[in-house]
């Protein structure tokens, strides 16, 4: 049986450093964390003994609540989250729910509470959801992942969208776009409303607004981008750029443009948000806003494990991952 | 609390039919199954009471073992599998392992066995893996998903690849391709070796072979297709068509062709296997082999639940999902 002492020896660090590194503690440098993770992987180390000893009565399972497992954003979230949890001795149990608002929230909460989980990562919570209230009332630890609801405070990992989204919008303006279209995300998702706010306020500095006819609202999915871009591009005066709520929405928009025979960015520019691996495809070359999703997923997992192990009295932690514009080939000047 | 009787009433069927339909029993027609599933979804029904009463001492958790959660094939597998299991009152726990051969198989087996799962869906098993032996010896129910290992018999769901793969190869020949390249999957995966065998034997009927220099072997992933197509297309005499082990490999090949400035199918044709949703993108329009992955994923889940509930004495079931060619825009005649 491989122990944390073996990992410490191979990585050339102390045993407490191994524990800290595997929890992604900020007390350990990124270099050391990587060395410890590599050593743990090489030895096939799972910190189960220690973990179990520290946590009698726990199940070592955490839930992840998402809306749509087939969405690429979650594909690229679940993989690093799973690996981080595995290295901490926890298993990931999947939960989906189409809606977490109104009476549906009660069903979701019941399901999460009845499944003997140690904690939950909430990746779908609407700002007006009562789910966090239910979980708090029943003492279930949880972490907001890429979301925040105002009713209940909890640990969170979020994207600091302002810098990247402002950079993107300023680039749109600098290129000379004045007729700006947008495919926006769900009005009750903090991420969507936040990105929209930054987009509109930055455009406003140049006196530009997005009229209702040039905006389309829906889910964070391919179909929304596809349908939205179809509608906007078939207007008599289509927008010269379509700012999309995220990359998956932009994939839909790019495909709609192709289907309509519009060249990108010649006839219309398209932008995303997230910088998922597909955005780098030579066939897509999406101009988008990037942040470290992998690190954010791992950090969400380790915040939850910390919370499970330390209990409810520790102060909440809100961690923000910086964002920045990545220029590729889908954003250019408007056609004259 | 919603019961199966409520579902029966809404669906207009008997209560035992509800149980059978939710287990995807072949005794119930597809139409009825769909009606029952819709009714269960509409009412938010989870068959927990019944399930629990029938299965004292069970955890109602099953594991899914995959190599790479970030691979699109698993994205589109996990979503329907999760929903099918949820409707049967089971949770899906994710397990990954880079390798299940040699000594690594022991670690995987230990991990699966120590996690108090009721059963496991094996989606990665190499033909020479000892993992199934370990699971059988410890009495852990499992189902082969899109795979088969020869050492141990178990329930399985697989693609009947012959018809679709032969149809595709015959179309390649009919279009006049003689210089055929291939990016092949792992040699020890039953799916990869099976597809390769059908490809080669069908080509042989026209006297065509794939020389070593025109074949590239790797994983079922984007990088394999990207690197393989790069190598094949940079030959002095590149192939006129690249037959890829699956769709994700073909995505890599299409992107390599774009990067090298080769038009598809003008300069080179590319084909896939699986017909994942991205294959239908207007930007990809991949000619590929289709089967009902959604149904196969649901059926794999229900076979496992049946096995868990009925024990090891019932005869094994091997279910095959038929495949067929889907012609889109990436396969055309060779350039003259």
Q: What is the CATH number of the domain that holds A269?
A: 3.40.50.2300
Instruction: Decide if B57 is inside a domain.
Output: no
- With both helix axes pointing from N to C terminus, report the angle between A161-174 and A190-204 in degrees, rounded to the nearest 10: 40
Alpha-helix residue ranges (DSSP H) falling in chain B: 4-11, 15-22, 30-43, 48-54, 72-87, 103-113, 131-137, 161-174, 190-204, 222-233, 247-259, 293-310
CB spacing of B83 vs A61 below 8 angstroms: no
Instruction: Decide if A335 is inside a domain.
Output: no
Q: What is the pLDDT of residue A272?
A: 98
Q: What is the pLDDT of residue B299?
A: 97
At residue A105, φ and ψ (nearest 5 deg) are: -60, -35
In this structure, the answer to whether residues A172 and A254 fall within a common structural domain is: yes
Residue for token pair 């299965």: B55
In this structure, the answer to whether residues A66 and A87 fall within a common structural domain is: yes
CB spacing of A94 vs B94 below 8 angstroms: yes
CB spacing of B78 vs A69 below 8 angstroms: yes
Instruction: Decide if A140 is inside a domain.
Output: yes
Band the pLDDT of A112: cuts 50, 70, 90: confident
Q: Find residues 91-110 of chain A whose CB sits inside 8 Å of chain B.
A: 91-96, 104, 107
Point out the domain boundary residue: B291, B312, B330. Answer: B291
pLDDT tops 80 at residue B191: yes
Q: What is the pLDDT of residue A55?
A: 38
Q: How far apart are CA B20 and CA B27, in angstroms?
A: 8
In this structure, the answer to whether residues A182 and A282 fall within a common structural domain is: yes
Burial class (CB in 10 A: 0-12, 13-18, 19+), B323: buried
- The residue-averaged pLDDT of A2-26 equals 81
The answer to whether B158 and B291 are in contact (CB under 8 A) is no
Band the pLDDT of B226: cuts 50, 70, 90: very high
CB spacing of A82 vs B76 below 8 angstroms: no
At residue A64, φ and ψ (nearest 5 deg) are: -120, 120
pLDDT tops 60 at residue A101: no
CB spacing of B94 vs A92 below 8 angstroms: yes
pLDDT tops 50 at residue B54: no
Q: How many domains does chain B fold into?
A: 2
In this structure, the answer to whether residues A209 and A285 fall within a common structural domain is: yes
In this structure, the answer to whether residues A6 and A65 fall within a common structural domain is: no
Q: What is the pLDDT of residue B149?
A: 79
Band the pLDDT of A29: cuts 50, 70, 90: confident
CB spacing of A93 vs B48 below 8 angstroms: no
Residue B223 touches partner A, C-beta closer than 8 Å: no
Residues of B in contact with A66 (CB under 8 A): none
The first and second tokens of residue B248, run together, are 């994700």
pLDDT tens-digit profile of B292-330? 999 999 999 999 999 999 998 899 999 999 999 999 999
pLDDT tops 80 at residue A226: yes
In this structure, the answer to whether residues A282 and A305 fall within a common structural domain is: no
Q: What is the pLDDT of residue B106?
A: 67
pLDDT tops 80 at residue A8: yes
Residue range(s) defining the domain that contains residue A246? 161-291
Band the pLDDT of A50: cuts 50, 70, 90: very low
In this structure, the answer to whether residues A28 and A131 fall within a common structural domain is: no
Min Cα distance B142 → chain A (Å) is 18
Band the pLDDT of B22: cuts 50, 70, 90: confident
**What is each CA distance from B182 to B54, B118, B169, B214, B217, in whole angstroms?**
50, 40, 11, 6, 8
pLDDT tops 90 at residue A62: yes
Residue B85 touches partner A, C-beta closer than 8 Å: no
Q: What is the CATH number of the domain that holds B14?
A: 1.10.260.40
In this structure, the answer to whether residues A112 and A213 fall within a common structural domain is: no
Min Cα distance B91 → chain A (Å) is 7
In this structure, the number of other CB atoms found within 10 A of the CB of residue B138 comes to 11
Residues of B in contact with A103 (CB under 8 A): none
Closest CA to A323 of A123, A100, A99, A169: A169
| A87-101, A176-190, B252-266: least confident range | A87-101
In this structure, the answer to whether residues A264 and A221 fall within a common structural domain is: yes
- Which among A255, A259, A282 has CB closest to B255? A282
Burial class (CB in 10 A: 0-12, 13-18, 19+), A303: buried
Q: How many residues does chain A have?
A: 336
pLDDT tens-digit profile of A163-186? 999 999 999 999 999 999 999 999
Instruction: Decide if B22 is inside a domain.
Output: yes
Scanning every residue of chain B, which has its alpha carbon at the shortest distance from the alpha carbon of A104? B44
> Left (φ > 0), alpha (ψ -120 to 50) or beta: where does A265 sit?
alpha
User: Which ipTM did the prediction report?
Assistant: 0.80
């Amino acid at each position: 049986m491989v122990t944390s002492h073996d990992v410490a020896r191979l990585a050339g660090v102390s045993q407490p450093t191994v524990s800290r590194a595997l929890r992604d503690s900020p007390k350990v440098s990124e270099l050391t964390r990587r060395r410890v993770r590599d050593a743990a992987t090489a030895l096939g180390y799972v910190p189960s003994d220690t973990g179990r000893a520290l946590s009698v009565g726990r199940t070592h399972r955490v839930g992840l609540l998402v809306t749509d497992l087939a969405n690429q954003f979650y594909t690229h979230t679940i993989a690093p989250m799973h690996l981080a949890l595995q290295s901490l001795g926890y298993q990931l149990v999947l939960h989906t729910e189409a809606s977490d608002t109104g009476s549906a929230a009660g069903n979701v909460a019941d399901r999460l509470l009845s499944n003997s989980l140690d904690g939950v990562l909430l990746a779908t919570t609407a700002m007006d959801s009562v789910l966090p209230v239910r979980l708090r009332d029943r003492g279930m630890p949880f972490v907001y992942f890429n979301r925040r609801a105002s009713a209940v405070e909890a640990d969170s990992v979020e994207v600091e969208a302002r810098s990247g989204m402002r950079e993107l919008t300023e680039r749109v303006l600098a290129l000379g776009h004045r007729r700006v279209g947008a495919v926006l995300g769900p009005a009750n998702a903090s991420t969507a409303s936040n990105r929209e706010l930054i987009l509109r306020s930055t455009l406003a500095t140049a006196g530009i607004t997005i009229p209702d006819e040039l905006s389309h609202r829906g889910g964070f999915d391919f179909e929304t981008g596809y349908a939205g871009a179809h509608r906007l591009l078939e207007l008599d005066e289509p927008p010269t750029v379509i700012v999309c709520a995220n990359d998956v929405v932009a994939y839909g928009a790019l495909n709609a443009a192709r289907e309509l025979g519009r060249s990108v960015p010649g006839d219309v520019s398209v932008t995303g948000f997230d910088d998922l691996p597909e955005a780098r495809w030579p066939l897509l070359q999406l101009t988008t806003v990037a942040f470290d999703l992998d690190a954010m997923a791992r950090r969400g997992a380790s915040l939850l494990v910390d919370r499970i192990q330390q209990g409810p009295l520790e102060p909440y932690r809100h961690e923000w991952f910086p964002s920045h514009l990545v220029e590729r080939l889908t954003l250019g000047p408007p056609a004259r």
